[in-house]
Structure 1
Amino acid sequence: MADPTRAIRDEVRLIAPYNAGLTLDEVRQRYKVDVIAKLGSNENPLGPSGAIRGLLDGIHDLARLYPDPEGRELCAALARDFGVGDGQIILGNGSEDLIAVLCRSVVRPGDTVTTLYPSFPLHEDYTTLMGGKVERVEVKPDLTIDLDTLVSCVRAEPRMVMFSNPMNPVGSWLAPHEFAKVIEALDDETLLVVDEAYAEYAKGEDYPSAVEMLRDTGKNWVVLRTFSKAYGLAGLRIGYGIVSDQSLCGFFNRTRTPFNTNVIAQLSALAALADTDHLRQSIDFALRERIRVAAALTELGYRMAPSKGNFLFFDATENASRLSEEFLKRGVIVKPWKQAGFDTFVRVSIGSAEENNHFLQALRDIKSSR
């Protein structure tokens, strides 16, 4: 019998399956546990704004019609918030959908895409899929961003520079004066993509607004945001990009699928944007709990990266995948990191107080059993 996979492109073979983690039902069935702390995907433990509940009442009428393919009402609201034109906003089925759109639009075989490392795997995977070459700028031993190396790589004029700020999975970030050096090094022909999936959590004067800093530079850029994290809409899959130029955004819109955000997601995102109180409560809770969990990890002797996200990245000093199995047996889902050089690290989300306590107790139990 002929090999049924022979038609698959070589670039696809280079991509590892995405580590999406286990669902609650999978963990219950496999490990026979009733109470589960799901701390592997950086979801908001407070959930979405209560304002979206009424949307489901009209699901029959909403479901039978195609959504607005451009999400005009949502794009207009986002454009007002960021002080850009409506034509500079693009919607995606989560911001990861837009990473694929950007790579399909820009990256040619042999092109270099520079990213921070360890990275959100899809930054690398979609580059590889298009035949591009990934250039990694690894964090320093203290797990902060190697600014000098990043600037040097940007000066070499790669086709695209794409990284998370704050970094995912690490949590480290570029401060305004550091980000300014990256902008200064950027060539007019290079597209800068800043993935700000966790920007809402990154409070403080030491964190820059990429849109504000890039707006009048004349450079080509995209800032990615999502409703999956702080807004609590992970299950509805909706993200967006703010693009430097309307004509550039127009070409990106040609590359995405026409109806890539559904009507429930669009309306829920509008409701979530309007509920600023819920957003503030979600952020304040996550930051308080992040401080508490970080202090407990330090007390237990673990080294971790500084974090501006709703997660912590710590060195377990052992194989993280094997350790995650021990957590699963105790009803805790965490994210073992699998990229080379960081396979002893675990990314743990900041969940509810009960979930965080569950995680810490499980970690203490594991340590005491060794």
Structure 2
Amino acid sequence: MKAKEQILTLKAYQPGKPIEEVKRELGLTSVTKLASNENPFGCAPAVKDAVMDELDRVSIYPDGYAAEIRDKLAHYLGVLPRQILFGNGSDEVVEMFCRTYLSPDTNTVMAKPTFPQYRHNSVIEGAEIREIALDDQGHHDLDEMYEAIDENTKIVWICSPNNPTGTYVSKEKLVSFLERVPKDVIVACDEAYCEYVVAEDYPDTLALQRDYPNLVVFRTFSKAFGLASLRIGYGVAHEDLISVVDPVREPFNTSRVAQRAAISALDHLEYIEMCRIRNREGMDLYEHFCEQYDLGYYPSQGNFILIDFKTKQGDEVFQFLLQQGYIVRSGNALGFPTSVRITIGSEEQNKGIIDCLSNWLDAESEK
């Protein structure tokens, strides 16, 4: 049996090794995972109680329309309920937009490197993929991305903050871009890490949708809200766009437990503010470390930092840290071969990994 030609070019997602496997293989008693940009503080304590309560109803199908969380989220965001599309993580919402708008006679524009699911799902639909390299500061090159648009372009992807660099698109640059993009081209702005942003010129994309109905915003409960394993994300767009995409959604694509957890999480926004503050404190530690050892890094607005070790391969740094009980992400797989991406952890975790790296670099410099 023959599969689609484009499917044969894809590779299945390869997750990192589980913590227990790393402990067993390396004989370690403690392993800290700082590789997947998860919230090191987890979810708000009250969310756990809501999850436990909902377990009594796991035999009942969830509300396919997700009415309760839809209304609550709409009120929180200041949008209409019918402007929201829920997904099994925001990556499923990405998939739904690709399935709806992309085909072999279309093309899609994105940065490189960026979140790989834009490319992955575009390949599945057979669309032409136009990748534009990030500029020297690790930002989206919006001028070059605009030049790549033609009459067959359906979606332009903007990841802000961008994964893996953590850089963002300012309001001024985004508005300038939206002014030029044809109104029949979707501009998809992925804001998975927006709750961590502290930059004052970060755009209010939901407000911009009033003037630019082709602007779509993706967000998630996986990161700052600490619900990664429950898989619930969403897209916000003009109701006409949502009505077109919604029919491709699977009937029960978000679980009862995920919906209940998200509802509870929105009742405890003070917890998210605490996570944002602690994240920024951790980021300051890593930036100071990079400056102390003359390492390259992109100023990040996410909950991760991409550090360039310059004379070392990312895999080498990854393996060293793994031996010390820290799982990070090698830049070799991210388009930055001499870098590693490290999720900002707790104060103890951040200081632990920085101490390991400092001792290693000091020892190397003495050779």
How high is the TM-score relative to the length of structure 1?
Answer: 0.93
Is 1:364 aligned to 2:346, yes or no? no
1:180-212 per-residue CA deviation (whole Å, 9 max, x = no partner) reads 111011112211111000111112321111111
Q: 2:327 aligns with which of 317, 326, 333?
A: 333
Q: Give distance in 2, aligned partners of 1:159 and 1:316.
A: 38
Corresponding residue for residue 139 of structure 2: 144
Is 1:22 aligned to 2:17, yes or no? yes
| 8 Å Cα contact 2:109-2:132 kept in structure 1 | yes
Q: Give distance in 2, aligned partners of 1:110 and 1:61.
A: 48
Corresponding residue for residue 304 of structure 2: 311
Matches within 5 A, 1:37-48: 37-48=32-43
SS in 1 for 2:177: helix
Corresponding residue for residue 172 of structure 1: 167
Is 1:131 aligned to 2:126, yes or no? yes
Corresponding residue for residue 295 of structure 2: 302
Amino acid at match of 1:212: A
How far is the alpha carbon of 1:70 from its aligned partner? 1.4
How far is the alpha carbon of 1:286 from its aligned partner? 0.4
Pair 1:117–1:60, CA change in 2 (3 A) = closer
Corresponding residue for residue 148 of structure 2: 153
Is 1:109 aligned to 2:104, yes or no? yes
Q: Give distance in 2, aligned partners of 1:227 and 1:261.
A: 12
Indicate the larger mover: 56-65 or 268-277.
Answer: 56-65
How far is the alpha carbon of 1:266 from its aligned partner? 0.3
SS in 2 for 1:101: helix
Corresponding residue for residue 240 of structure 2: 247
Pair 1:216–1:159, CA change in 2 (3 A) = same
How far is the alpha carbon of 1:94 from its aligned partner? 0.8
Corresponding residue for residue 286 of structure 1: 279
Pair 1:323–1:292, CA change in 2 (3 A) = closer
Corresponding residue for residue 347 of structure 2: 353
Pair 1:168–1:340, CA change in 2 (3 A) = closer
Pair 1:282–1:325, CA change in 2 (3 A) = same
Q: Give distance in 2, aligned partners of 1:314 and 1:361.
A: 15
SS in 1 for 2:2: coil
Is 1:200 aligned to 2:186, yes or no? no
Corresponding residue for residue 82 of structure 2: 87
Q: Give distance in 2, aligned partners of 1:348 and 1:304.
A: 11
Q: Give distance in 1, aligned partners of 2:31 and 2:363.
A: 20
Q: 1:121 aligns with which of 101, 116, 120?
A: 116
Matches within 5 A, 1:207-246: 207-217=202-212, 219-244=213-238, 246=239
Pair 1:352–1:60, CA change in 2 (3 A) = closer
Aligned residues: percent identity?
A: 29
Q: Superposition RMSD on alpha carbons, in Å? A: 1.8
How far is the alpha carbon of 1:136 from its aligned partner? 1.4
How high is the TM-score relative to the length of structure 2?
Answer: 0.94
Indicate the larger mover: 62-71 or 15-24.
Answer: 15-24
Gaps of 5+ in 2: none
Amino acid at match of 1:286: N
How far is the alpha carbon of 1:157 from its aligned partner? 6.2
SS in 1 for 2:68: helix
How far is the alpha carbon of 1:339 from its aligned partner? 4.9
SS in 2 for 1:159: strand
Q: 1:33 aligns with which of 28, 31, 37?
A: 28
Question: How many equivalent pairs are there?
Answer: 363
Corresponding residue for residue 50 of structure 1: 45
How far is the alpha carbon of 1:156 from its aligned partner? 6.6
How far is the alpha carbon of 1:107 from its aligned partner? 0.6
SS in 2 for 1:174: coil
